[in-house]
Amino acid sequence: MKKTIALLLSLLCFFLLSACAEDKKISFPPAENISQIEIIESDGKSLKRITQADKISALVEDMKENTKDSGRESVNDQPTNIETYYILEFHLSKSADSTKKFYLYKDKDTCYIEEPYTGIWTLKNEIYDELCH
């Protein structure tokens, strides 16, 4: 009887702790460290470049505010099983690592932004459309 109660309490604690897990937030470089943002199609063709500091700052802030943890993990260098994706490349001016890449794609009418080996977040459709079209 004591073992059953201990097991039930352990399971209850596990479920309570897992329910309280905090959403993982996406981490972009600080806007003041970004010299340009480039959007590249999956075939390597450059789609657009954003170089104005105010537009970079606004875009980074919009993406931070409009992403939500999808709960999915990123386990590859780039998205797999996705026909069309875009590379969101941050060119950094104040870093030894000169670029930081994210991937944008749609899957079943949901837009995602993925940082390789870090996480996958949902992104509002309006921001995806603004960046990729």
Separation between Cα atoms, residue 54 and residue 32, nearest integer Å: 10
Which sign does the torsion angle of CA 128, 37, 66, 17 carry? positive
State the SS3 of 25-65: CCCCCCHHHEEEEEEEECCCCEEEEECCHHHHHHHHHHHHH
CA dihedral 84, 58, 27, 100 (to 10 degrees): 60
What 3-state class would DSSP assign to 4? helix
Separation between Cα atoms, residue 129 and residue 66, nearest integer Å: 13
Please report the pLDDT score of residue 32 as a whole number: 93
Please report the pLDDT score of residue 14 as a whole number: 59
Task: Scan for tokens 């981490």, then name that residue.
Answer: 27
Please report the pLDDT score of residue 133 as a whole number: 86
Separation between Cα atoms, residue 28 and residue 65, nearest integer Å: 12
Please report the pLDDT score of residue 23 as a whole number: 74
Question: From the first residue on, what is the mean pLDDT of each consecutive set of 10 residues in the chain (133 residues)?
Answer: 64 54 83 95 94 96 95 93 94 82 95 96 96 90
On whether the pTM is more than 0.75, the answer is yes
